[in-house]
């Protein structure tokens, strides 16, 4: 077996792309998208019919303002792309809530319910989708509300251990800790040199979270994300799920070497006590972690920028 096949035997592989052709090629279990990936898809002529359909549906609501129609079209484009991807994967598709709502619990809940309703109109129930939300305090509380209604969530832009603790305590279905962006921060702000992938701070972060969850019996799924190289992926073999870009899926598929399991729920050990964070302690711990604070803020800004670019593209159609 090549390394991709070996990885699939111990970890659920998720495609980190909005490119339907790549998903068809690598046959992952699940798929996940975000505003950046959707913007890239919207600029591809192959997916233009989805964009046109989204805009047509949004314009049919004459009660909306122009700005509301553009936002609605962007949401509908995300749902149409997600529904098309769902035809190619047997599992779930993650669709992201507008990052501009990251600091409003009620608005995040409302947007999530709208996305669920839009999927339902296309024949996809909550068993096939995950609502993707930034792991701010407000986002985590929104996810807690949604999970209580049977709507599963994927908490993204997760960089700090405190974020992971709060997500598990809230009963979130899945988290997406960002491996590569953690490494990016350390490379930019320290003199770190990585000799072994196991010394990578992003790998260590996911490993710590995985061991904490398994030691304390949390059911929240850990899905490592945002990989910069193949070594990071191999160092997390055995994690619940890993979401991987097409270029790294190709590299794994072309590698016939042996892949060793690195994470195992049965032998997981954590020295961190089980905690139920309160808002004040969550914000204090996040503020104390410069890397997590910087990357969470940066990630939200980037997703907002790409969301606005997507809306500008739709407006120009």
Which of the residues are catalytic? 132
Q: Tell me whether residue 310 is exposed, middle or buried, using C-beta atoms within 10 angstroms of its C-beta: 0 to 12, 13 to 18, 19 or more.
A: buried
Ramachandran sector of residue 226 (left: φ over 0; alpha: ψ -120 to 50; beta: rest):
left
In this structure, what token pair is assigned to residue 6?
Answer: 């070996």
26: tokens are 């690598």
Q: Which residues partner with 242 through β-bridges?
A: 13, 224
> Residue 160 and residue 273: Cα distance in Å, rounded?
16
- Whether the CB-CB separation of 236 and 262 falls below 8 Å is answered with yes
Measured in whole angstroms, how far is the alpha carbon of residue 201 from the centre of its chain?
19
Contact between 54 and 77 under an 8 Å Cβ cutoff? The reply is: yes
Report d(CA 193, CA 186) in Å as an integer: 9
Write out the two tokens for 214.
């398994």
């Amino acid at each position: 077996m090549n390394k991709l096949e070996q990885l699939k035997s111990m970890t659920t592989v998720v495609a980190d792309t909005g490119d339907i052709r790549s998903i068809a090629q690598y046959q992952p279990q699940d798929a996940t998208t975000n505003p950046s990936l959707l913007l890239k898809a919207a600029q591809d002529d192959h997916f233009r019919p989805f964009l046109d359909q989204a805009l047509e549906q949004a314009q049919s609501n004459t009660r909306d303002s122009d700005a509301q129609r553009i936002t609605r079209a962007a949401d509908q484009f995300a749902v149409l792309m997600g529904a098309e991807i769902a035809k190619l994967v047997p599992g779930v598709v993650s669709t992201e809530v507008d990052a501009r709502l990251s600091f409003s619990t009620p608005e995040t809940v409302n947007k999530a319910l709208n996305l669920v309703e839009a999927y339902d109109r296309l024949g996809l129930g909550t068993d096939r989708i995950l609502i993707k939300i930034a792991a701010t305090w407000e986002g985590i509380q929104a996810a807690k509300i949604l999970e209580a209604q049977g709507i599963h969530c994927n908490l993204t832009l997760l960089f700090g251990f405190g974020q992971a603790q709060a997500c598990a305590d809230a009963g979130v279905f899945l988290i997406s800790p960002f491996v590569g962006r953690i490494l990016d921060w350390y490379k930019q702000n320290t003199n770190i040199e990585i000799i072994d992938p196991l010394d990578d701070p992003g790998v260590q972060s996911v490993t710590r979270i995985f061991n904490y969850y398994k030691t304390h019996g949390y059911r929240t799924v850990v899905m490592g994300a945002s990989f910069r190289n193949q070594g990071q992926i191999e160092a997390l073999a055995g994690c619940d799920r890993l979401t991987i870009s097409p270029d790294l899926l190709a590299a794994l598929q072309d590698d016939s070497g042996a892949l060793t399991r690195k994470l195992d729920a049965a032998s997981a050990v954590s020295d961190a006590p089980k905690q139920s964070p309160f808002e004040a302690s969550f914000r204090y711990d996040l503020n104390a972690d410069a890397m997590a604070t910087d990357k969470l803020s940066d990630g939200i800004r980037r997703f907002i920028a790409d969301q606005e670019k997507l809306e500008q593209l739709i407006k120009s159609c």
